[in-house]
Structure 1
Amino acid sequence: MVDLTDARWRKSTRSGGNGGECVEVADNLPGIVAVRDSKDPHGPALAFPASAWATFVGTIRR
């Protein structure tokens, strides 16, 4: 299990502006990127290896 105690969450630049589709990302932790639903900040979060996240984001941008 990944410790997200020190995660600094920010709203994703790809989140919608209407308040309904808000994804938060924490990319300040060594080697991982965590993602969660901003409407449920105490709910579950997904953690990815930073390299896998970079590949995902790069693919989406193309």
Structure 2
Amino acid sequence: MTTWRKSSYSDETGGHCVELARLSRGVGVRDSKNPAAGHLELPRQSFAALLDHLRRVRPSN
């Protein structure tokens, strides 16, 4: 069974709802508002690169 975890950046108002799961071949990413639509599966190295990029371009508060 796959365990999905909602991002800490997701909010309860219906916006920015991302869930992640550890999969055998990488990391799963899906929209928590519509899990039946499926998910993206990224190799762990690609997911780490994505997170690194997002941290660098994230606007400061």
Name the TM tier (shorter chain): 0.7 to 0.9
1:61, 1:14 → 2: CA distance?
13
CA RMSD, Structure 1 to Structure 2 (Å)? 1.5
Once the two structures are aligned, what percentage of the paired residues are identical? 43
1:11, 1:19 → 2: CA distance?
12
**Pick from 16, 25, 29: which aligns with 1:21?**
16
Quote the residue 1:30 is aligned against.
Answer: 24
Alignment pair present for 1:47 and 2:22:
no
Structure 1: give runs of 5+ residues left out of the alignment.
1-5
Which one has the largest radius of gyration? Answer: 2
With the length of structure 2 as denominator, give the TM-score of the two structures.
0.75
Which consecutive aligned stretches of 4+ in structure 1 deviate over 6 angstroms post-superposition?
none
- Which protein has the bigger helix share? 2
Alignment pair present for 1:61 and 2:61:
no
